Structure 1
Amino acid sequence: CSSGTSAGERKLMPTIEDELDRRQMLYSLLMPVMNLFVPGLDKGKGLYFLFIKSETKTPGGLPARPVLTSYYKSDHFKYRPFDAYQVYTSPTAAILCTDSFQSMYSQMLCGLLVRTEVLRVGAVFASGLLRA
Structure 2
Amino acid sequence: MVVRQLDDDTVDRIFRALADATRRDILRRCLSEEASVSQLAMAYDMSFAAVQKHVAVLEGAGLVAKHPQGRERIVCGRPATLAQARDLLARYEELWRARISRLDALLAEDAPATSTTTDPHT
Q: TM-score, normalised by structure 2?
A: 0.28
Higher RCO (Cα < 8 Å, 6 or more apart): 1
Q: TM-score, normalised by structure 1?
A: 0.27
Q: Which has the higher helix share?
A: 2
